[in-house]
Amino acid sequence: GGDHTITYPILQALAAKHGPVGLVHVDAHTDTGDTALGERIYHGSPFRRCVEEGLLDCGRVVQIGIRGSSYDPDPNKYCREQGFRVVPAEECWMKSLEPLMREVRAQMGHKPMYISFDIDGLDPAYAPGTGTPEIAGLTPAQALEIIRGCKGLNIVGCDLVEVAPMYDASGNTALLGANLLFEMLCVLPGVKTL
């Protein structure tokens, strides 16, 4: 879908109903920037705005696949200061994420939580059709492990963002995005799968 800014008003609505929610956030970037070109609301800032408004249960926020260049020598400092768990991409390389997801499930508990999946969390070899690709990302199999690892949690919503059709000449990004959304629908509470 659209850029990651869309998650901000969604979380405003969910927090109004459920109170602060947990978050499983898959992305190459933490999206906790403050401003860009003088704007406070843009695709790199939604989770900072959410923290400022008390929309997130910060002790139940996990960011997976974080990587890429930064202007800051410690780009994840803000996230750690808020209590987020940041899982850099290099901690995911060449291994199953099922053990990580067991830890995430324990951290989320039974309280309401949200899944926000930026397609650039995946390596651009699999998902080139995005505006801010970063090398050395997650594989589609790891993406499935993350989503399927959320089954049984109190998921109150989910999104998949940052697919950019104009950069998706092969259509592979759209295919992957559609399948990941299908998987998210399958792990929603009350959905029966075979």
| pLDDT digit string, tens, across residues 34-91 | 999 999 999 999 999 999 999 999 999 999 999 998 888 899 999 999 999 999 999 9
**Structural domain range at position 93:** 4-187
Residue 120: pLDDT band by 50, 70, 90 thresholds? very high
Phi, psi of 63 (to 5 degrees): -115, 120
**CA torsion, ordered 122, 44, 116, 27, to nearest 10 deg:** 20
Q: How many domains does the chain have?
A: 1
What's the whole-number mean pLDDT along residues 93-108? 98
Is residue 77 a part of any domain in this protein? yes
pTM of full prediction above 0.75 = yes
pLDDT at residue 1 in the model: 63
Residue 194 has pLDDT above 90, yes or no: no
CATH code, domain with 122: 3.40.800.10
Q: Which of 68-72, 73-77, 96-100, 170-174 has the lowest mean pLDDT?
A: 68-72
Is residue 194 a part of any domain in this protein? no
pLDDT at residue 51 in the model: 98
Is residue 193 a part of any domain in this protein? no
Nearest-angstrom CA–CA distance, 157 and 175: 21
Is residue 192 a part of any domain in this protein? no
What's the whole-number mean pLDDT along residues 183-194? 94
Nearest-angstrom CA–CA distance, 134 and 59: 27
